[in-house]
Amino acid sequence: MPGKGCAPSGLASAGGGSDNCGMTLSPLGDAAVVLELGHEIDVTTLAHVRALTALLERDPPPGVTDVVPAYASVTVFYDLVRTGGYEQLCAELKTRAGRAATQPPFETARVVEIPVCYEEAFAPDLGYVAAHAGLRPEEVVVLHSGADYRVHAIGFVPGFPYLGGLPERLQTPRRATPRTLVPPGSVGIGAAQTGVYPLATPGGWNLIGRTPLALFRPQAEPPALLRVGDQVRFRPIAAEEFAAWK
């Protein structure tokens, strides 16, 4: 039966908040296993997530079909018939995790600038976020665009980045009633995170701006503009620049 396991002791430093084993393996259904590297969402843990992801992408165990990093974990999807069995796969993953732990963690990140128009027509919830924070709307824009963010996960819809680094003052509860349709490019705040809706979709985050930049491009390789570990900065633009964007 699938079970949990611990990485070699060399992985004990794989990020703040990890348990005594340093890493745990947990089955996710019958076709995936989750490697937990810690319990804190921070830059150090994210660096180890990136290192392990990169190693598994370069040298995947037999049967691995996909590797998905997020926050403090890496989820490995597999074809059980090609793995030699769940226990064999876990042993292979532990070996690679031990190798990843001996490598210098990622310290550099690709920096991606995202232009955002924070004007009223694109920011239906800016006033609410400002009132919640006890700020003027223009102060929210300064704070939001002045912070450095890290992509901790991609999900929900293709290309949607969950960004850590939102100033504490701007943290705002999600809307009690989600919108049935959020325009693509909308920049939102949901509790302690900010993100960008790449596609038209329902959503419950507070919308404070919109970008003309396409974050999901089906014909590109890769189709998602952002990846886990990227550093993101928002640049305020006027409605005229938004309209002129190609």
Give the torsion sign (CA, 234, 239, 244, 246). positive
Residues 89 and 138 in one domain: no
For range 130-144, the mean pLDDT? 98
- Predicted local confidence at residue 78, as pLDDT: 96
The domain boundary, picked from 62, 78, 101, lies at 101
pTM of the full structure: 0.80
- What CATH number did the domain enclosing 129 receive? 2.40.100.10
- Mean pLDDT (whole number) for 8-21: 32
Q: Do 173 and 235 belong to one domain?
A: yes
Flag whether pLDDT at 34 surpasses 70.
yes
pLDDT at 87 > cutoff 60: yes
Based on the domain organization, do 88 and 203 belong to the same domain? no
23 domain-assigned: yes
Tell me, yes or no, whether 122 and 237 share the same domain.
yes
Are the CB atoms for 204 and 175 separated by under 8 Å? yes
Residues 37 and 90 grouped into a single domain? yes
In this structure, the answer to whether residues 152 and 34 fall within a common structural domain is no
Shared domain for 54 and 138, answered yes or no, is no
Name the residue range of residue 91's domain.
9-101
Q: How confident is the model at residue 1 (pLDDT cuts 50, 70, 90)?
A: very low
pLDDT band with cut points at 50, 70 and 90 for residue 83: very high
Residue 97 has pLDDT above 80, yes or no: yes
The whole-angstrom separation of Cα 32 and Cα 15 is 22
Handedness of CA 143, 149, 152, 155 (dihedral sign): positive
- Nearest 5°: phi and psi at 212? -85, -5
Chain mean position to CA 244:
29
Secondary structure (DSSP) of the chain: -----B--GGGTTSSTT--TTS-EEEE-TTSEEEEE--S--SHHHHHHHHHHHHHHHHSPPTTEEEEEEETTEEEEEE-HHHHT-HHHHHHHHHHHHHHHHTSPPP----EEEEEEB-SGGG-TTHHHHHHHHTS-HHHHHHHHHHS-EEEEEE-SSTT-EEEE---GGG-BPPPSS-EEEE-TTEEEEEBTEEEE--SSEEE-SEEEEE--S-SB-TTSSSSBS--TT-EEEEEE--HHHHHH--
pLDDT over 70, % of the chain: 89
Give pLDDT, residue 154. 93
Indicate if the pLDDT at residue 11 is higher than 80.
no
Band (pLDDT 50/70/90 cuts) for residue 5 is very low
The CATH number covering residue 29 comes to 3.30.1360.40
Same domain for 232 and 137?
Answer: yes
pLDDT tens-digit profile of 48-82?
A: 898 999 899 999 999 999 999 988 999 999 999 99
164 & 141 share domain: yes
What's the pLDDT score for residue 17? 31
Q: Does residue 115 share a domain with residue 190? A: yes
Judge whether residue 12 has pLDDT over 70: no
pLDDT of residue 107: 59
The residue from 52, 79, 101 where one domain ends is 101
Q: How far apart are the first and last CA of the chain?
A: 54
- 218 in a structural domain: yes
Provide the pLDDT confidence category of residue 4 given band limits of 50, 70 and 90.
very low
Name the pLDDT band for 101 (thresholds 50, 70, 90): confident
Number of domains in the chain: 2
Section 102-111 average pLDDT: 74
- Cβ-count burial of 45 within 10 angstroms (0-12 exposed, 13-18 middle, 19+ buried)? buried
CA distances from 134 to 5, 170, 171, 207, 239 (A): 47, 10, 12, 17, 26
User: Is 124 within the bounds of a domain?
Assistant: yes
Instruction: Judge whether residue 175 has pLDDT over 90.
Output: yes
What is the crossing angle of helices 137-146 and 126-133, to 10°? 90
Bin 146: left if φ > 0, else alpha if -120 < ψ < 50, else beta. alpha
What pLDDT score does 16 carry?
A: 29
Judge if 121 and 237 occupy the same domain.
yes
**pLDDT band, residue 28 (cuts 50/70/90):** very high
